[in-house]
C-alpha cells in the first residue's frame, strides 16, 4: 500500500521508512528539503514539500511524525508557539487531505497513526499511568492534547485514527542517547535532581514495530502508550546506563541548575510518568526489548 509519512527523514521516520520499504510498501514522504531527505531514505521514495501535494496520488495510510524537537531550547512564548504550530499545522493539513480525498474519491486514507508523547499526561509523580489516566494540566499536556485533537478530526472522514504517546526513544545515531552518551562514557553522568522522576522509554525498533502493528490492526484506534512495559526512574536509568558502559555515574545535576539553565523546559527532565503500554499489551503486541538492560545491551553493542 501507499503510506504517507510526515517526519520521515527524522530519527524514527528513517527507520520506519526502511521497514515499510522492506515490507513492500510504497513510500510517500513530506519534507521541507526533498533533496536532503532523499539521501536519508530508501530509493524510490516519493518525496514532496507539502502534504497537499499528494492529492493526486492518494495514500492508503498515513503516519504523522512531524514536529520540532520539544527539548531543543528554552520555552519562550515564541518557542511554545513554534512547538505547537510544527505539530498542529502539519496534522491539520493531513486532515484536510483526508477531507479532500473523501470528497473527490469517496474514500479517505484507511488509517492515520499520529504521534503524540508521554507529555500528554504531565507530571504524574509515582502513580502508574495507563491510557485511562487523567492528565495533569501543564504546557506539555496542552501541546499534546491540541496535537491529538487535531488528528482525531480525520475520523470524521472515515479514517481510523490511532494516537501513539511515545516515551524516550533509544537507539544509536540520535534520540535521547545521542546527548547522554558522551558524558556517561567519560564517567561524568549522573541523575537529574533527586532522580525519582520516571522515564518511560522505548527501543526505536519496538516503536517502529508498534507503528506497523497499529497500521495493520483495523480494530485498533484511540490512544496507545508507546513505551516499554518496564519504565524506570531517572536514577535507575542513570545506574543502568553507567553499568552497561562500565563507568561511574557520580555527577548528579541539581534541580536548581537545570531550572536556571532551561527555565520551564526543565520540567521535562525533573518530572515524569510511570507510563505503561496497557493497550498495546492487551492487543497482543510483543516487545523485543521489554527491559532497559536488554535495550541498552543491544544498542551499545552496535555503537
The string of pLDDT tens digits covering residues 100-109 is: 999 998 999 9
Task: Supply the pLDDT for residue 303.
Answer: 57
Flag whether the pTM goes above 0.85: yes
What are the phi and psi torsion angles at 226 (to 5°)?
-90, 70
**Of the candidate ranges 35-44, 108-117, 199-208, the one whose mean pLDDT is the lowest:** 35-44
With H, G, I as helix, E, B as strand and everything else as coil, classify residue 250.
Answer: coil
Task: Supply the pLDDT for residue 254.
Answer: 85
**Of the candidate ranges 29-33, 71-75, 118-122, 244-248, the one whose mean pLDDT is the lowest:** 71-75
| Arithmetic mean of pLDDT over the chain | 94
What's the CA gap between 68 and 79, in Å, rounded? 10
Asked if the model's pLDDT at residue 118 lies above 80, the reply is yes
Task: Supply the pLDDT for residue 109.
Answer: 98
Domains defined along the chain, listed by start = 2-302 (3.40.50.720)
**Of the candidate ranges 111-120, 178-187, 292-301, the one whose mean pLDDT is the lowest:** 178-187
**One-character DSSP codes across 14-55:** HHHHHHHHHTTPEEEEE-S-HHHHHTTS-TT-EEES-GGGGT
Torsion of CA 71, 33, 14, 102, to 10 degrees: 100
The proportion of the chain whose per-residue pLDDT surpasses 70, expressed as a percent, equals: 99
145-186 pLDDT per residue, tens: 999 999 999 999 999 999 999 999 999 988 889 988 999 999
Q: Which of 206, 189, 173, 174 is nearest to 243 (CA)?
A: 189
65-79 pLDDT per residue, tens: 988 888 778 888 998
Instruction: Assign 270 a pLDDT band (cuts: 50, 70, 90).
Output: confident
More confident residue, 243 or 260: 243
Task: Supply the pLDDT for residue 71.
Answer: 77
**One-character DSSP codes across 71-100:** TSS---HHHHHHHHHHHHHHHHHHHHHHHH
**One-character DSSP codes across 189-206:** ---BTTS-SEE-EEEHHH
Amino acid at each position: 500500500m501507499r503510506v504517507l509519512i510526515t517526519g520521515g527523514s527524522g530519527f524514527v521516520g528513517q527507520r520506519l521508512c526502511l521497514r515499510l520499504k522492506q515490507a513492500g510498501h510504497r513510500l510517500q514522504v513530506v519534507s521541507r528539503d526533498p533533496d536532503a531527505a532523499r539521501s536519508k531514505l530508501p530509493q524510490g521514495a516519493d518525496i514532496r514539500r507539502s502534504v497537499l501535494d499528494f492529492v493526486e496520488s492518494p495514500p492508503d495510510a498515513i503516519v504523522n511524525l512531524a514536529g520540532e524537537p520539544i527539548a531543543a531550547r528554552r520555552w519562550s512564548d515564541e518557542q511554545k508557539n513554534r512547538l505547537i504550530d510544527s505539530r498542529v499545522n502539519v496534522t491539520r493539513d493531513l486532515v484536510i487531505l483526508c477531507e479532500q480525498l473523501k470528497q473527490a474519491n469517496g474514500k479517505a486514507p484507511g488509517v492515520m497513526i499520529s504521534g503524540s508523547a508521554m507529555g500528554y499526561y504531565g507530571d504524574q509523580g509515582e502513580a502508574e499511568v495507563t491510557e485511562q489516566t487523567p492528565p495533569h494540566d501543564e504546557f506539555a499536556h496542552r501541546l499534546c492534547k491540541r496535537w491529538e485533537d487535531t488528528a482525531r478530526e480525520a475520523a470524521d472522514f472515515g479514517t481510523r485514527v490511532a494516537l501513539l504517546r511515545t516515551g524516550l526513544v533509544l537507539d544509536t545515531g540520535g534520540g535521547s542517547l545521542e546527548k547522554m552518551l558522551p558524558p556517561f562514557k567519560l564517567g561524568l553522568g549522573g541523575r537529574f535532581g533527586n532522580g525519582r522522576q520516571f522515564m518511560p522509554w522505548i527501543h526505536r525498533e519496538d516503536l517502529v514495530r508498534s507503528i506497523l502493528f497499529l497500521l495493520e490492526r483495523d480494530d485498533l484506534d484511540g490512544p496507545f502508550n508507546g513505551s516499554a512495559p518496564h519504565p524506570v526512574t531517572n536514577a535507575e536509568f542513570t545506574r543502568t546506563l553507567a553499568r552497561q558502559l562500565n563507568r561511574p555515574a557520580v555527577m548528579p545535576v541539581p534541580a536548581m541548575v537545570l531550572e536556571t539553565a532551561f527555565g520551564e523546559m526543565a520540567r521535562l527532565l525533573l518530572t515524569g510518568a510511570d507510563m505503561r503500554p496497557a493497550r498495546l499489551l492487551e492487543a497482543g503486541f510483543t516487545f523485543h526489548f521489554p527491559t532497559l538492560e536488554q535495550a541498552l545491551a543491544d544498542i551499545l553493542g552496535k555503537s
